[in-house]
Amino acid sequence: MPTAHLENRPSQLPAHHLESLGSARRQHLAGVVAGVAPDWSVELHYDEHGKAAIVIMPEDPDDTIAPTLIVSTTGSAFLLDELRYDAYRRLCESLSWADILRTVQIKLIWEGPFPTTRH
């Protein structure tokens, strides 16, 4: 039985894998967002160089209360950034797509309206 040598296998995912922010990842992220904030939009955008980003926006994009979230990539990681009050900050940088999904979900739960309590 032929076996592959471990040294012939890549130790991490190739960079092109991390850069693949396309419609499949947008749909996956949209499913996560819909479960927490169904009125928010999840859109795939490309810059002038063809680099993709997924933008997550509240129902009212002029809303000064809720942030806009941007998922992008570098050659080695997925990035999650937040734009709020004209300030831009990094929320997460990870090799794992699951980490980005979890961080988006937690952020949206935190941003969401608190349910009213009935006694």
At 94-113, the pLDDT tens digits run 999 999 999 999 999 988 76
Number of H helices, E strands in the chain: 3, 5
In a domain, 75, yes or no: yes
Domain that holds residue 55: 14-111
- What CA–CA distance (Å, rounded) separates 9 from 57? 39
CA distance 32 to 71: 14
What pLDDT, on a 0 to 100 scale, did the predictor assign at position 62? 66
pLDDT of residue 119: 58
In a domain, 79, yes or no: yes
Count of CB atoms situated within 10 Å of the CB of 1: 2
Which residues in the chain show pLDDT less than 50? Answer: 1-17, 19
Length of the chain: 119
Question: Does residue 118 sit within a domain?
Answer: no
pLDDT score, position 114: 55
Q: Is residue 85 part of a domain?
A: yes
Q: How far apart are CA 34 and CA 52, in angstroms?
A: 21
Instruction: Give me the pLDDT at residue 87, please.
Output: 85
E strands within 5-110?
A: 41-46, 52-57, 68-73, 78-84, 87-94
Beta strand pairing call for 41-46 and 52-57: antiparallel
pTM: 0.76
Q: How far apart are CA 106 and CA 31, in angstroms?
A: 14
Into how many domains does the chain fold?
1
